A = this chain, B = another copy of it.
Amino acid sequence: MKPANDTFLRALLRQPTPYTPIWLMRQAGRYLPEYNATRRRAGSFLGLAKSPQYATEVTLQPIERYPLDAAILFSDILTVPDAMGLGLHFVEGEGPKFARPVRTEDDVRALRAPEVEESLRYVTDAVRSIRKALDNRIPLIGFSGSPWTLACYMIEGGGSEDFRTVKAMLYQRPELLQQVLAVNVQAVTDYLNAQIRAGAQAVMIFDTWGGALTDAAYRSFSLASMAQVVAGVQREHDGERVPCIAFTKGGGQWLEAIAATGCDAVGVDWVVSLAQARARIGNRCAIQGNLDPMVLLAGAKATASEAIRVLEDFGRPNRVDGGTDGHVFNLGHGISQFTDPDVVDVLVETVHSHSRILRA
């Protein structure tokens, strides 16, 4: 059944919409006092992410505050490697760490895509619980890290500034890295399909670290494996289309190639001009993005004016080729924890009202 507000889904499918829909990457996050309160109760980030009840609570928080056009499952991109048994934990001030990183041939040989319905049951339970709480007001987005982005964490054993371990494998043992990516393709595809079966109405693949690669390596390692996921994701459920968004941060030079994976929408970071992105992608895909998240730290006035600049950079919805719009407003990256929640109100209001004017 379609949600009461299906503007987001329609925009992803390039159908006409009365205004430009908006949601924000990391919209359930540390800039919201109510999120911080729930996190304190949960005791830890993983405690929060692994509890369907808490995940439901924080997923709904921004929805209660703002008239956003989509909710996104609260989770972490590292749930998949955690389910592979790599021992995810968080070190205060250092971010995520894996107790058993994937480094050797034996490590790679032992790697298996997890049985999603068992080891990631808490995620599909969260999806079902959130759908129930949303009561079909707006659609719910499921998501996963891309195979390459997950491989970065799995091989580095955590975050990295230079990706020296995973890149040493890439340049020295490319076939070994491809084996890791093959497992990740299977895992990510299974994971997204399980989220869809549980009720996710759109899915997004986050390729956070594709932009760290050379052109050649991006195409062979990140893009190729992401394309396999796009091809394997179930695009219909319960009689409704389930759109798929592919997002490579720092991926501005590969927009045409990302669009060619067959995704419904290309996510773009703030560095790219939407006018240029639209010209390059053409009518193949919708585009999601791309306000610089730092704009919100400059206050309400700057936020409203930059939001309008982004809308006008994308330009008027195209009424010629069948009445499609194809823009989903978002930030170019996750919202900063230093954002004033009141400024988000201004952003959402501005996008909704100015995009109606653009359509008038």
Contact residues of A with B, CB < 8 Å?
162-164, 167-172, 211-218, 250, 252-253, 270-273, 276, 292-295, 297-299, 301-302, 306, 309, 313, 336, 338
Count of identical protomers in the assembly: 2
Is A336 a contact partner of B162 (Cβ separation < 8 A)? yes
| CB-contact partner of A164 in B164, B218, B338, under 8 A | B338
Is A167 a contact partner of B292 (Cβ separation < 8 A)? yes
Is B338 a contact partner of A171 (Cβ separation < 8 A)? no
Contacts of A218 in B (CB 8 A): 271
Is B253 a contact partner of A299 (Cβ separation < 8 A)? no
Is A294 a contact partner of B338 (Cβ separation < 8 A)? no
| CB-contact partner of A302 in B172, B216, B253, under 8 A | B172
Is A211 a contact partner of B162 (Cβ separation < 8 A)? no
Chain B residue nearest to A297 in the complex (CB): B168
Chain B residue nearest to A167 in the complex (CB): B294
Chain B residue nearest to A275 in the complex (CB): B215
CA distance A250 to B271 in the complex (A): 10
CA distance A61 to B89 in the complex (A): 43
Is A216 a contact partner of B294 (Cβ separation < 8 A)? no
Q: Which of A163, A252, A272 has the most CB of B within 10 A?
A: A252
Is B336 a contact partner of A294 (Cβ separation < 8 A)? no
A292-B168 contact in complex given A252-B252, A253-B272, C-beta closer than 8 Å: no
| CB-contact partner of A215 in B273, B293, B295, under 8 A | B273
A171-B295 contact in complex given A271-B213, A271-B214, A273-B215, C-beta closer than 8 Å: yes
Q: 12 more A-B contacts (CB under 8 A) besides A162-B294, A167-B298, A253-B253?
A: A163-B294, A164-B338, A167-B297, A169-B298, A171-B295, A171-B298, A171-B306, A172-B298, A172-B299, A215-B276, A217-B292, A253-B272
CA distance A271 to B212 in the complex (A): 7
| CB-contact partner of A273 in B216, B293, B336, under 8 A | B216
CA distance A85 to B349 in the complex (A): 44
CA distance A112 to B302 in the complex (A): 28
Chain B residue nearest to A165 in the complex (CB): B297
Chain B residue nearest to A333 in the complex (CB): B162
Is A297 a contact partner of B164 (Cβ separation < 8 A)? yes
Is B250 a contact partner of A250 (Cβ separation < 8 A)? yes
Contacts of A297 in B (CB 8 A): 164, 167-168, 171
Chain B residue nearest to A273 in the complex (CB): B215
CA distance A270 to B250 in the complex (A): 13
